[in-house]
Amino acid sequence: QERKGTAKVDFLKKIEKEIQQKWDDERVFEIDASDRQNQKSKGKYFVTFPYPYMNGRLHLGHTFSLSKCEFAVGYQRLKGKNCLFPFGLHCTGMPIKACADKLKREMELYGCPPEFPDEEEEEEENSAKKEEEIIIKDKAKGKKSKAAAKTGSSKYQWGIMKSLGLSDEEVVSFSEAEHWLDYFPPLAVQDLKSMGLKVDWRRSFVTTDVNPYYDSFVRWQFLTLKERNKIKFGKRYTIYSPKDGQPCMDHDRQTGEGVGPQEYTLIKMKVLDPYPAKLSGLRGKNIFLVAATLRPETMFGQTNCWVRPDMKYIGFETVNGDIFICTQRAARNMSYQGFTKDNGVVPVVKELMGEEILGAALSAPLTTYKVIYALPMLTIKEDKGTGVVTSVPSDSPDDIAALRDLKKKQALRVKYGIKDEMVLPFEPVPIIEIPGYGNLCAPSVCDELKIQSQNDREKLAEAKERVYLKGFYEGVMLVDGFKGQKVQDVKKLIQKMMVDNDEAMIYMEPEKQVISRSADECVVALCDQWYLDYGEVNWKKQASECLKHLETFCEETRRNFEATLGWLQEHACSRTYGLGTRLPWDEQWLIESLSDSTIYMAYYTVAHLLQGGNLRGQGESPLGIR
């Protein structure tokens, strides 16, 4: 329904503008430490808001979050307190540079103004490619992400910029990253002022080295951290974008915020003679099916391994000449972790389907069975692990259900060419005693829940939930060398033993899908980089002690802080691509966008004295500092 008239709204807006102008003229929200008003006030109140990123206009989400700060500071002013509300604007990191470079590429490929291919034609050409590129599905994310909300439906950067109402000539300017810093920050200030925010605008600033004062502040911060030995250099496992050629931190991601590297033990199961026909050309080479497991302590109970008949696998040559068989996705991760001769290069020697490995005789570490076999499992997923799965039916409900299926169903064995002697003699091996479940917990729970086959997915999920955590925290080992010890105490020892014996390796991959802002599926890579050693014991102790004295206002917040301190270890603080401040002692590196955003609240206290209200810190400083 059409609005009949806007006179009342216009009248209210007029009053709003008049009052905002009065506030501006009288500098109502400009607060200085030396004010006499401070001496008479009934206390002080300091509000900060996480400074927004300047790759676009502010949106409704910012307004919602800001309202909490705005109402709080307004209330405290009414109580007579001296209130300071500064507001910074963040430009550090990869997104602005990535968008600018994307515009350049589009103009190089499609002209200026660009003439893009027909959408349907483009979709047909790229559908297969997309399927290959985006393998892992991140179900934790909704269909509409923040990035989607900002970019709309256009997949081209040019279209995104045009959707902001820019002319072709204006869009061209955004192919230079610095133009974004000229364009969006003043608009953000304008929008925030029109909201009536009670901000001391003299203290506002943009980040990166375009602002010499903030740049100097961050350099000082990092020099101080280095002097105190809080910053170190070395190879670290890091979420990495091969396309961008650098670590992909949270703020650089389209999907996968908060996702870190997941450590697996890569179990090496040697292929024995006679080789499967598809591998006969590799005779003389050491060939291994490699399985990624989170439970190295259960390898004493292996009875077979699983592969999926209709899944694509590859054999690739490792740095020492061995052949590893796994999925292409897993091999890509391994190639960035020192598994191959050349970093990021997977030397494929064989492509094969899972059904072509079935029945392969294998020698596996720790198990009491001298020979085990590769058997079919239809539920293996390609987006996790290596596509090869170890089988421990004593402690894994999935494994006992699948093994029982093969034992009971001769037709299933015949279908996949599995001989009776590859399945029937193999029984679960007692390796862990779990209170309430005995020494064969998986068969026990499956019987209790009346699980009939590997297709009883809901019941199997319940079975796993019952046994896994209880097994880890309460399970006691039964095997020689570790008898009587708790599972949680020996897990790492058993992993180390296998790695030292060349029976296993450490393998990492992202916990979930991570897609960079350049649309690259990320891997875990061993990268030379500078990192903040948040895991250092004494530093963690100091942080925990500080947390005890912090007013968090609710227990949930305190628990979240405690949980974060629990898992926080090394954090990569350097990158080679994007905008920001250079590391003072190694200027080939930029300081990444989270690391230059930890103590900027302190900079607010002096920003107005250094920058005099100029966002970029250009021109004469009120203190005469250069």
Has residue 488 been placed in a domain? Answer: yes
Report the alpha-carbon distance of residue 388 to residue 308 in Å, rounded.
8
Of 90, 227, 167, 51, nearest to 581 (Cα)?
90
Residue 425 has a pLDDT of 95
Q: Based on the fold, state whether residues 410 and 309 are members of the same structural domain.
A: yes
Q: What are the backbone dihedrals phi and psi of residue 368, each rounded to the nearest 5 degrees, phi first? A: -75, -15
Residue 624 has pLDDT above 60, yes or no: yes
Residue 371 has pLDDT above 80, yes or no: yes
Name the residue range of residue 467's domain: 261-510
Asked which of 450, 480, 510 is the last residue of a domain, the reply is 510
Has residue 554 been placed in a domain? Answer: yes
Residue 135 has a pLDDT of 28
Q: Based on the fold, state whether residues 311 and 400 are members of the same structural domain.
A: yes
Has residue 243 been placed in a domain? Answer: yes
Q: Based on the fold, state whether residues 587 and 551 are members of the same structural domain.
A: yes
List, for residues 180-235, the tens digit of each pLDDT value. 999 999 999 999 999 999 999 999 999 999 999 999 999 999 999 999 999 999 88
Q: Based on the fold, state whether residues 537 and 456 are members of the same structural domain.
A: no
Residue 568 has pLDDT above 90, yes or no: no
Cα–chain-centroid distance for residue 181?
Answer: 27
Q: Based on the fold, state whether residues 577 and 484 are members of the same structural domain.
A: no
* Mean pLDDT over the full length of the chain: 89
Q: Based on the fold, state whether residues 415 and 434 are members of the same structural domain.
A: yes
Has residue 577 been placed in a domain? Answer: yes
Q: Based on the fold, state whether residues 566 and 587 are members of the same structural domain.
A: yes
Q: Based on the fold, state whether residues 368 and 492 are members of the same structural domain.
A: yes
Compute the chain's Rg from CA coordinates. 30
Has residue 174 been placed in a domain? Answer: no
Q: Based on the fold, state whether residues 329 and 388 are members of the same structural domain.
A: yes
Total tally of structural domains belonging to the chain: 2
- CATH code assigned at 534: 2.170.220.10
Residue 41 has pLDDT above 50, yes or no: yes
Residue 447 has a pLDDT of 93
Of 607, 568, 519, 550, nearest to 51 (Cα)?
607
Listing DSSP states for 167-186 in one string gives -HHHHHHTTSHHHHHHHHHH
Please state whether the predicted TM-score (pTM) of the whole model is above 0.95.
no
- CATH code assigned at 268: 3.90.740.10
Beta pairing class for 323-326 and 312-317: antiparallel
Report the alpha-carbon distance of residue 253 to residue 582 in Å, rounded.
22
| pLDDT confidence bin for 151, thresholds 50/70/90 | very low
- Give CB contacts under 8 A, 24+ apart, made by 421-424: 422/304, 422/359, 422/373, 422/375, 423/304, 423/373, 423/375
Summary count for the chain: helices (H), strands (E):
19, 22
Q: Based on the fold, state whether residues 494 and 537 are members of the same structural domain.
A: no
Asked which of 459, 478, 510 is the last residue of a domain, the reply is 510
List, for residues 206-218, the tens digit of each pLDDT value. 999 999 999 999 9
Q: Do residues 102 and 161 touch, judged by C-beta distance below 8 A?
A: no
Residue 152 has a pLDDT of 46
Residue 149 has a pLDDT of 42
Cα–chain-centroid distance for residue 24?
Answer: 43
Higher pLDDT, residue 323 or 588? 323
Sign of the CA dihedral 120, 125, 126, 132? positive
Asked which of 480, 510, 540 is the last residue of a domain, the reply is 510
Residue 422 has a pLDDT of 96
Q: Do residues 86 and 202 touch, judged by C-beta distance below 8 A?
A: no
Residue 68 has a pLDDT of 94
List, for residues 92-148, the tens digit of each pLDDT value. 988 899 889 889 989 998 999 999 887 655 444 444 333 333 222 333 333 334 444
Report the alpha-carbon distance of residue 10 to residue 19 in Å, rounded.
14
The amino acid sitting at 539 is W
Has residue 560 been placed in a domain? Answer: yes
Q: Based on the fold, state whether residues 250 and 311 are members of the same structural domain.
A: no
Has residue 64 been placed in a domain? Answer: no
Q: Based on the fold, state whether residues 431 and 324 are members of the same structural domain.
A: yes
Has residue 218 been placed in a domain? Answer: no
